[in-house]
Amino acid sequence: MEDGATLDELPVGAEGTVVAVRCERAIARRLMEMGVLPGTRVAVVRVAPLGDPIQLRLRSYSLSIRRREAAGIVLSDVREPVAAAAVAEQAPS
């Protein structure tokens, strides 16, 4: 996945580093108060069956946020889940 991806695009098990929080001001402030700050490593733990909310792991705790909030969190240094990377390598070309 390329840099500049948003958190809502990540599959379960993927992780990335927060670059910016581009949500409505009140929501961005609340997310930053909860530790979603630039430079923080964030991993997607689980996604609810209908896609909302998304459970994250950051700074040694779990946080669940709405998909629309996750869409405003820009990431860099995104790493796919290990299992997905292994399957992609084994797929025939």
pLDDT, tens only, 44-93: 999 998 888 999 999 899 999 999 999 999 998 888 887 655 545 555 55
5-90 to CATH, choices 3.10.580.10, 3.40.50.970, 2.30.30.90, 3.90.198.10: 2.30.30.90
Handedness of CA 14, 19, 25, 28 (dihedral sign): positive
* Mean pLDDT, range 1-14, rounded to an integer: 82
The reported pLDDT for the residue numbered 51 is 82
The reported pLDDT for the residue numbered 50 is 87
The reported pLDDT for the residue numbered 91 is 52
| Domain boundaries, given as residue ranges, for the chain | 5-90
Predicted TM-score (pTM) of this structure = 0.79
- For residue 7, give the 3-state DSSP assignment: helix
Give CA 64 to chain center in angstroms: 11
